Amino acid sequence: MISRELAKKIRYLQIFTSKAVNDSLAGEYESVFKGRGMEFEEVRQYQPGDEVRNLDWNVTARMGEPYVKRFREERELTVMFLVDLSASGTFGSADMLKNDVAAEICALLAFAAIKNNDKVGLIVFTDTIEHFIPPAKGLTHVLRIIREILGFRPRRTGTDIARALDYFGRVQRKRCVAFLVSDFLGEGYTKPMRILARRHDLIAVSVTDPRELALPNVGLVEIEDAETGGTVLLDTASAAVREHYARLGEERAQRLRQTLRAMAVDQIETHTHEDYVRKLALFFRKRERAASGGGASR
């Protein structure tokens, strides 16, 4: 059983995201992702005009004449959400917590996926794997995924992105589109991410609160790390303190951008006070232009 409050929020998200998908994202999602996957179908004799790069050299050597591999366009995709719901996501200085934004982004993308008859799956993680829902189709399945994210109560508080990526690599062998949704405050995940980015279409969705990038002038403030419980006292009345804090926040954001770019992982940067629907739509349009040769996707 779910609470009345949770049921009300799920219903709101279903209405809101369905409208957003129909108004802003359905066409962009389909044009970016549909038709990108190719599935092996058969091997046949080479015919004039066939792509030389599709030659199957093993069969060619065995048969003594050229054979090529034939592929067919996949009719459906698998979309996986790897969602970081650790304690740092319970922070929010605007209207929404980071975890709330993560949930709504996943809901929006999940509805876009089922509108295109794609499968959707979920991995929820902290510093351990908290929950796994295998990919499946249909509205009922997507509503279950949204319910699990919105009603989730973590057993742990920390963040281990590397563990989530390793687990994803074991349970999802077939190539898929994977959205990794996190504030990316963890470390040590570059090696598994680099490996998985070669096998899957991996997209990083970073969720940041404006107070993680800048502090207001409100005097003495005690800041607590939600994951470790550690606290630090800051004098926000000091311009030097505010400037140092802002510089650290920007350096952290820039390091993440550079790390993802180096691994050819696309990034969608979202903030809790911004319109994430617009951010997603812009990302899809930019990606479509890049795929058609109109420019870089980052």
How far apart CA 65 and CA 46 sit, in angstroms, is 8
Average pLDDT over residues 194-207: 95
Range picked from 18-22, 40-44, 176-180, 186-190 for highest mean pLDDT: 176-180
Cα 269-185-235 angle, rounded to 5 deg: 100
Mean pLDDT of the chain: 86
Residue with tokens 């992702």: 33
Q: pTM for the whole thing?
A: 0.80
The confidence score (pLDDT) of residue 78 equals: 93
Cα torsion through 263, 267, 272, 273, rounded to 10 = 130
Q: Which two tokens stand for residue 164?
A: 């989530």
> Domain coordinates of the chain in residue numbers?
38-73, 78-291
Q: Which two tokens stand for residue 221?
A: 């403030």
Q: Which CATH number fits domain 78-291: 3.40.50.410, 2.40.240.10, 2.60.40.10, 3.30.413.10?
A: 3.40.50.410
Q: Which residues make beta-bridge pairs with 131?
A: 124
